[in-house]
Amino acid sequence: MPMRRAITGRSQEPRRRYAEELRLLRTSRGLSLRELAKAVGWDPSLFRKLESGETLGGPEVAEALDKYHGTPGLLLAMWEMAVADPTQFKEQYRRYMTLEAEAVSLWQYSVSILPGLLQTDAYAREVLALGGYKGAELDQQVTARTGRRLLLEGADAPPFRALISETALRTPLRDEVAWREQLDYLLEVSERPNITLQALPDRSGLHGLVSTDVMFLRLTSGTTVAYTENAHRGELVEENAAVERLQRAYDAMRDQALGPAESRKFILRVLEEVPCEPAT
């Protein structure tokens, strides 16, 4: 099938198109970035980054711009499409991201880093920076990763179970305030009906996934695929026998993990051990 001709001449990539539309709406009204920022209530640097594609901002920014420009729901819809666009991820991850967005249920084991679907912006930024990202590319990848949180929100959100090792829960961010916010966020999402968090204590000993993060995706076709990842590479596993072996290892670990209620208490204890900022 031939590629569809671009009627408007503007980009058909959701992220880039969102940036173009924001710039067009502003310039069509003869506004500078500073004037728009003053009218809507954010810093001009945010709108510069939005229009350059460095960041997507949050849904509250899209909603505020919809209200200001008189485009109810349009920019928010474009923002949602941009956040979900798999092309914003590195090429080797795109097929997995497409499957993740279509999954009817998800379950994961995290060995040393908290699940990507449950990371705050600050946590994602520090992890991605350690991977070599910086500048505008870092901003883009943080937005892409944290935008995945939308998958677990709303009435139709799929069920998600995460087994999280004690190591991941006790490895802090450099910024203690940001680390407290991350642990608070884990406690918050653990109360959602579609999310089950279970802590795997170190005392559980060695197990079949001792050095490997793994995510299982149950697809609409009824099949299950797995994505395994270590510090250097990730691999999408689709062969049934290989997926079954990983599932057996996961099930054995789940039997050793704390239950959801005990896991929340465990996370709370970890949170209470984080030093608070001194009162001023």
Per-residue pLDDT for the chain (280 aa), expressed as one digit of tens each?
444 445 556 666 777 788 888 888 898 888 888 888 888 888 888 888 888 877 777 778 888 888 889 888 888 888 877 776 666 555 556 778 788 888 999 999 999 899 999 999 999 999 999 888 888 888 878 887 888 888 898 888 999 999 999 999 999 999 999 999 999 999 999 999 999 999 999 887 677 687 789 999 999 999 999 999 876 677 889 999 999 999 999 999 999 999 999 999 999 999 999 987 655 4
> What is the enclosing helix (H) or strand (E) of 273?
helix 260-273
* Residue 160 identity: F
Within 8 A by CB and 6+ apart from 105, the residues are 158, 159, 160, 217, 218
What's the pLDDT score for residue 91? 55
CA 186 from chain center: how many Å?
13
Neighbour tally for 8: CB within 10 Å: 9
Residue 75 identity (one-letter amino acid): L
- Contact call for residues 134 and 195 (beta carbons, < 8 A): no
Contacts of 115 (CB under 8 A, 6+ apart): 108, 162, 164, 215
> What are the strands of the beta sheet with 105-110, ordered from one edge?
195-200, 160-165, 105-110, 213-218, 224-229, 234-237
Q: Give the integer Cα–Cα distance in Å for 181 and 189.
A: 12
Q: Is the dihedral of CA 33, 34, 35, 37 positive or negative?
A: positive
Question: 131 burial class (0-12, 13-18, 19+ CB within 10 angstroms)?
Answer: exposed
pLDDT of the residue at 138: 86
Beta strand ranges found along 121-254 (DSSP E): 160-165, 195-200, 213-218, 224-229, 234-237
The residue among 242, 234, 247 whose CA lies nearest residue 107 is: 247
pLDDT, position 1: 44
CA 71, CA 241: separation in Å to the nearest integer?
50
Reported as type and span, the H/E element at residue 105 is strand 105-110
Instruction: For the beta carbon of residue 139, count every other beta carbon within 10 angstroms.
Output: 19
Q: What is the pLDDT of residue 155?
A: 85
What pLDDT does 2 receive? 47
